[in-house]
Amino acid sequence: MDGIIALYKDQGMTSFACVNRLRHVLHEKRIGHAGTLDPNVDGVLPICIGKATKVVDFLHEQPKTYVGELLIGEATETEDLDGQVIATKQVTAPIGDQFLQQTMAAMTGKLTQVPPMYSAVRVHGKHLYEYARAGETVDRPKRQVVIDSFKLVSSTYDANNGQQRVRFKVQCSKGTYVRTLAVDLAKNLGYPGVMSSLTRVASGGFTIDQTISLQDVDDLVASQMISNYVLPLAIAFEDWQQVELTADQWQAVQHGGWLTVNELPANSQERVALFYHGNIKALYYRADQQHYKPLKMLAVN
């Protein structure tokens, strides 16, 4: 079996656990996911099967979209509701939508993030959460991320508890810690904050309305209908320029040969997806002014 399943990951499961279960159900060892979701985050988890595991990195590099909620007025050690409360501050008056929108807009573009201590990032061979659970702290590697958009969906003020809940939608690059972004929003507003919920609604070119659950997979395998929901590998490259090869070009590509710019359509993009007889075969990129060379071979026959 080769292809991609747009999986809906439930809360409470790790991404790795989803992959393990699918290996068992589908009887396929070559399975990988394109972009880890924390256990308390649900939503789109693209799953690559068989030969499609070759394109995991290409799916992972695409922007991701989340909807979530920030609770303003308290903070936890994990930046989500799983951790112990470490700070509180009463929100004594509602934070206006205009101020929220202005603050969120200022947090778009290129940002530098420090991964939270409760994360799977490895430092000196250990996950950060292992240090955190042992009560240790270490220097964490900074990372550059891109926030394409950070929008206010709704806001609700709770006068009784002195808190405010902010629903948001964010589109961002791979590697972004959305809970850290949400907590930083609260800090920029002058309060502690905690991400109270998060759902990934788009990833790898797939949206949440295209997903199927693990239970769906079980049922589809039992009814021998699962093949109808395993999407072809080429679907991951619908936004790429697609070039149909001639027989001579395909023979060269089969052996990793370069192509000249004159062999491709005029004004070809920097990266192209090469097809032969309607089937995707390889990904090429422009190496210099005159040549395209292999980026990834996907099939040799």
| Last residue of one domain, picked from the residues 213, 235, 257 | 235
pTM greater than 0.85 (yes/no): yes
Query: Does residue 139 register a pLDDT over 90?
Result: no
The residue range of the domain holding 147 is: 64-202
Cα–Cα distance measured from residue 153 to residue 166, given in angstroms and rounded to the nearest whole number: 8
C-alpha 226 chain-centroid distance: 24
The set of residues, in sequence order, having a beta carbon less than 8 Å from that of 296 and lying 6+ positions away, is: 54, 55, 58, 282, 283
Residues 186 and 75 in one domain: yes
The set of residues, in sequence order, having a beta carbon less than 8 Å from that of 128 and lying 6+ positions away, is: 115, 116, 117, 118, 119, 120, 121, 122, 138, 140
- Read off the pLDDT of residues 177-230 as tens digits, 9 standing for 90 and up: 999 999 999 999 999 999 999 999 999 989 999 999 999 999 999 999 999 999
Mean pLDDT of 247-263: 93
Residues 77 and 186 in one domain: yes
Number of domains in the chain: 3
Residues 112 and 192 in one domain: yes
Residues 141 and 227 in one domain: no
Catalytic (active site) residue 38: yes
Residues 26 and 123 in one domain: no
Residues 266 and 170 in one domain: no
Residues 151 and 89 in one domain: yes
State both tokens at 105. Answer: 């807009």
Strand extents, DSSP E, 159-252: 163-172, 193-203, 206-207, 212-213, 241-244
**Nearest of 170, 173, 174 to residue 182 by alpha carbon:** 170
- Read off the pLDDT of residues 58-108 as tens digits, 9 standing for 90 and up: 998 899 999 999 999 999 988 999 889 999 999 999 999 999 999 999 999
CATH code of the domain in which 217 resides: 3.30.2350.10
Helix (H) or strand (E) holding 145: strand 143-158
Catalytic residue among 38, 42, 80, 184: 38
Angle at 84 between CA 82 and CA 85, to 5 degrees: 115
